[in-house]
Amino acid sequence: MKTVYDFIVKDRKGNEVSLSQYQGKVLLIVNTATGCGFTPHYEPLEAMYKEFKDKGFEILDFPCNQFANQAPGSEEEIHQFCTLKFGTEFPQFGKIDVNGDNADPLFAYLASEKPFEGFGKGLKNAALKKFADMNNREFGDKAYIGWNFTKFLVDREGKVIARFEPTMEMDEVKAEVEKELAK
């Protein structure tokens, strides 16, 4: 059975990284953007990372520019923005596509394990759905990710156990991470 440990990704300098190096850790894998309305998620993500990294937790950050051109910078520009504005210390990888024919295989896998089920209820979520649907129309059945800051929770065995859309409250994401770390 395939797990996230079977994937090789590129770091922000273009070097190959096997995700098997994270074996035994609880992971939160996130597609991010520096110019998105959800960019402030970096702050609670970094706080969570600082609180839990010594308990076997890692956040893996994958910048993506496929949503309304909200991550147009180079890997280095994105990294500088995140470290200077939000003090991020968790691993940041190379910029990728998460949808379409060039989607990174990791994100295609994550989304196949935990498919999109909607952004939730409410006016804000309905507005995001409309905007995301327009943006993702070009990807057809390869629109794996709805928007920036979609998060996947992976257990210590490398299995995808939860998907959190960007509209989910970060306190709820943190509570799920804490539950998984306690196992």
Which pLDDT score, from 0 to 100, does residue 132 have?
86
Interatomic CA distance for residues 151 and 173, integer angstroms: 9
Q: Collect the ranges in the chain with pLDDT lower than 50.
A: none
What domains lie within the chain, and their CATH numbers? 4-181 (3.40.30.10)
- Cite the active site residues: 36
CA angle 117, 10, 135 (to 5 degrees): 35
pLDDT of the residue at 124: 76
pLDDT of residue 174: 98
What length does the chain have?
183
For residue 126, the model assigns a pLDDT of 82
